[in-house]
Amino acid sequence: MKTILIIEDEQTISRVLSVYLKHEGYEVIQAFDGTEGLKLFHQHVPNLILLDVMLPETDGWNVLQSIRKNSSCPVIMLTALGDIDYKLKGLNQGADDYISKPFIGEEVVARVNAVLRRSARGLATENTRQFGSLKINLDSHAVTISDENVLLTPKDLSLLLFLAERPNRTFTREDLIASVWGMDYDGSDRAVDLAVKRIRQALAAWPVSQGEIKTLRGLGYQFSVYEK
């Protein structure tokens, strides 16, 4: 049984989400402030986190940053803030999805199911890919540069795997949305740009002489590798 950690200070909302998720077959853990949420996260190692932005003690942004320091656990942000800047901030800091309040329980369950499907897609493989100092272990899902671990969110890892398995081929945003995010994704293709930006930052120690993720203006993205 997969475990969902809800970090939400409005207890009524948290209880409603818990009921819907338990009905779907998930185990649910609840925290009502950011500090408690981080404690429960480390204790229980959940499969996914529903994280409110406006939290007492430690706000959602700081909770997300703390989680991303040592974990790629999927995170869906919950907030009453509908401004696009807040949405982009969450995605840029490594959130896997974003839901604005008010929402209905069925929507949240659908988003949870979709994020968990995406995080598992394409990861159960048996090969290792190596491009100079960059190594991608497709069994353990580990990415290293010169044997140093590279931390990626599940979605970003799925995108990197897709590109790395098809080096020197160009894909449009629409190609990547369909292949990595899936046909059930109904968000903006801006998510591709943000994911590529995060991957580039994570791979900063990978020498450009060995490879890079290129932007081909008007065409899309390419995982370019260079033969010596």
| pLDDT on residue 122 | 45
Summarize pLDDT for 61-106 with one digit per residue, the tens: 999 988 887 677 889 999 876 666 666 766 777 888 888 888 899 9
Give pLDDT < 70 ranges for the chain: 70, 81-87, 89-90, 120-127, 138-140, 183-184, 186, 227-228
Q: Please, what are the domains in the chain?
A: 3-120 (3.40.50.2300), 128-225 (1.10.10.10)
Which residue bears the tokens 């590109």? 163
Which residue bears the tokens 């931390």? 151
| pLDDT on residue 149 | 85
Asked if residue 195 lies in contact with residue 159, where contact means CB atoms within 8 angstroms, the answer is yes
- 59 alpha carbon, distance to own chain's centre: 19
| pLDDT on residue 218 | 87
Which residue bears the tokens 């800091």? 93
| Local structure of 17: helix, strand or coil | helix
| pLDDT on residue 112 | 95
Q: Which residues, 6 or more positions from 193, have their beta carbon under 8 angstroms from its beta carbon?
A: 173
| pLDDT on residue 81 | 64
Asked if residue 159 lies in contact with residue 198, where contact means CB atoms within 8 angstroms, the answer is no
| pLDDT on residue 126 | 44
**Considering the chain, what is the average pLDDT of its residues?**
86
Q: Which residues, 6 or more positions from 154, have their beta carbon under 8 angstroms from its beta carbon?
A: 72, 74, 96, 115, 118, 119, 120, 123
| pLDDT on residue 40 | 93
Q: DSSP letter string over 154-194? A: HHHHHHHHHHHTSTT-EE-HHHHIIIII-TT--S-THHHHH
| pLDDT on residue 19 | 96
